Chains A and B, each alone.
Chain A
Amino acid sequence: MLYREAGDFKTSYAEDNQTFPIKFDRYAYYLLLVAAFGVVPFFINDYWANAVLVPFLIYAIATIGLNILIGYCGQLSLGTGGFMAVGAFASYKLMTAFPEVSIIVHILLAGGITALVGMAFGLPSLRIKGFYLAVATLAAQFFLVWLFNRVPWFYNYSASGQISAPERSVFGINVTGPNVDAWAQYMVCLVFVFASAWLARNLTRGTMGRSWMAIRDMDIAAEIIGVNPLKAKLTAFAVSSFFIGIAGALLFTVYLGAAEVGEAFGIQKSFLVLFMVIIGGLGSIFGSFAGAAFMVLLPVLLKNVLVGGMNWPTDVAAHFQFVIVGALIIAFLILEPHGLAQLWRVAKEKLRLWPFPH
């Protein structure tokens, strides 16, 4: 009788409102935190950090950010790549202009700058809706990439327009640059992911989250019952862009170490993060993690199985990868249109009633 609500009475509204109302979930969550913070750092190597965990964590932040905009506030955006570029270039400019300030501050500020840019590009959402808005956000995507490529000030007038992250440390431990340990990269990202998920959870369960969801579910009714659509949409754009900006900054500083705007933050990045949101599940923080994990792990897994395990030529394997990812996306949508998060919820509900079928 592990997974039960029965007998687990709540005596206050605060208790009733907690994130994991079921005891078993709560303990599982604590266990996961202990493992993530206390165990993984001791066993992580370069491959697991750079090929799997660091990109997973960074994309999880971006996915949480985009999920706030699409999943919670219902505003479809394809400008993610452009906003990540803002985060990356803001952190680069800050790092090189104020080397004495901590990189953590720079990353947070980069998020703040991205939030402002996001708000500016969110303004059309007051007039434009649905797929039209999605296409409109592409204007942000293309314009921002063009801008960072075009204006040499953004890349400190380097010959090619590539930006490279200089070496920076936190508490005397390198987190960027060539001499960085896998565990340090992982820990920085983990702390940001943990904080992002916690902030996002708080924002989505309170007043602000409800205004977003009200706009998402029925914007006209929401306005009539007292939601200021300007405020709700712009805060959603701001919060979403804040997280996306942080993800962009981390992607550049901690993960890649060097970036070229068109290649690292192009339109394909916008789509990638959108896939993560939808596969994970709209309007779910857990789904954001699941979606990011799926899209980061699956190609690596397939590559290892097809090329490493079955010794296929890399090109045939790469083509098969597309075929399989595509087929899986379709299969998922047919089986569970509301993403991995919904799959998880259904499984939990079944478990709660187990062994009785209903």
Chain B
Amino acid sequence: MPELSASGAALGALAAAAVFATLVRGAALALVYPLCAVAALVLGAVDLRVLLTGTELTQQLPIGLPTIGLHLRLDPLSAFFGIVVNGGILAASVYGMGFDRAKELTRRVEPLFPLFAAAMNLVLLADDAYAFLFSWELMSLASWALVVARHADPESRRAAHLYLVMAAIGTAALLFAFGGLAGPAGGYAFDTMRGHPPQPMVAALVLAAALIGCGSKGGLVPLHAWLPLAHPAAPSHVSALMSGVMTKVAIYGFVRIAFDLLGPPAWWWALPPIILGALTAVLGLLYAVLDRDLKRVLAYSTIENVGVIFVALGLALAFRANGEHEAAAVAMAAALLHALNHSWFKSLLFLGAGAVLHATGRRDLDGLGGLIHRMPRTAAFFLVGALAASALPPLNGFVSEWLLFQAVIAAPALPQAALHFASPAIGAMLALAAALAAACFVRVYGTAFLGRPRSAEAAQAHDVPLAQQIAMGGLAFLCILGGLLGSVLATALAPVLADLVGGGLPRAGSGPTVFSLVAFDPARSVYDAPVIALFVAIASLTTLVVVHRLSARRTRRGPAWDCGFPDPSPATQYTASSFAQPLRRVYGTAAFAARETVVMPPPGDSQPARFSVVLVDHVWRALYAAPGRAVLGLSERLNALQFLTIRRYLVLMFAALVILLAIAAVTT
């Protein structure tokens, strides 16, 4: 089959690029990113073809796990995620072409970037447990090395360590999941697993393991803590890949296991992903809205989106378990589209953050400001990304949110009481998440790009090289296009939905116009982005014309009014932290036990007042700091055994002997 050989060639090219980049040095390295871009294009084209034709390519090679060999399979599901992945890789590679090889560190990045890209593609192609976990771990490993690329910085070392340990925990969980699916006979090929779905008890364990394994990679609360440390630590185009794409590979893993390999679901399987997902969505944004580091805010917002996707997946499970295939299709379409959309706008945002970092050398929001004047293009692209991330029409983020809300609204129709009680809570939490997202990105954009520069670097900023602008512009274009043509994307999902939930969205054109997105049936819910966009365009243009006709066109530039006492110093602007204050007061006290302390100087004293805020991350305390301490403490205790006298060691030996003898004596 030519497609697979094309993909194979592309993967080979990536591998070659990795080896090439390790061996050569100097100008020749400039070839690496173009090579990656081409490979991503080829892979993406193959995926697209498979998705549109709804075909399925399989291949077996005599390598990989002994006795069963390497199974490869490209079905619509993996093809769809392949499009997500390779789109991100393409953008990141194009962005990478713009790097100034003299200044930026590349020796530790270029060999691993293609490896990372290849590993992510391999995960999607894998059709047996060994190949899957092999490439999965390879993916973690490559990204680990990229995270620690700035190895001199102890922070990034700590982040990398936490990251790979969490990845290992996740992999262990996935090992269990696949172990349960394969059974004692060791049927590691996915086809064998499909043939023999496990017993209910085992299936439950497998689901839990899969949730832990994929959740830890995707940043599901409470397994998220590594993500906001690791993603920002990497070079920005890698952060874009990790946040925008790698999390989607995690989603893919969960979908593959829960919807494909695990057999028919029980309704209560839906609860863990729904509940955890909703918690993740809200908590992730609460973190984001209180954080002051640009890239970390983006990473936290990634956590939120992963949570949203998991909610959608949970709903899909619930509907499917109850045989409501249309509703399941709506939820699943929401999940998949959100994965796609998020990969676009999050990659865009991280690339934008990278541009800001490149231009100013700063990531702290309170040190930025006014960049819209200094780097207009980046500012425009970032604005698109920010609005898309806040799920605002007519951009792509809203399409998937809309579908998800439709699914939530359909949930009360399910027979199980637990899901009844869940549905309003979930709906409210998702709405809260959406509102918080808007607040979060208004805050980010308002402090980083609007207002007046808060630091010399921000004042001296300059826009980034053309290649990087192209990368961002392309993604911004996709965000707009995806927002307008969401229905087209949804129809393209048909084969995937049919495979996974045995249902589909109403076919295109069943709505009032060709482009109207329809959930269930046109009489029930319709969202027609192009029409609305058209209306808004017409309205604003007419307004423009009319106003300019009627009104005095005179415009004067003057100092800011600011209630009559403007202060020239940019320090008087609202900062990111002050913007967060109302939200912190309202939500922070509950979520993070936020405490504010103000130290006022005594009257007549001219020294400034001090204001400080204390936030407590309960999850970190309970699930990360405490176990870490426990391990070290225990190891210190046990370490005494390293310093015994020989006689004591003999005592241990003697004890072992006598105990075993005693056991032998009592057992008959």
Real binding pair: no
Binding site for A on B (CB under 8 A): none
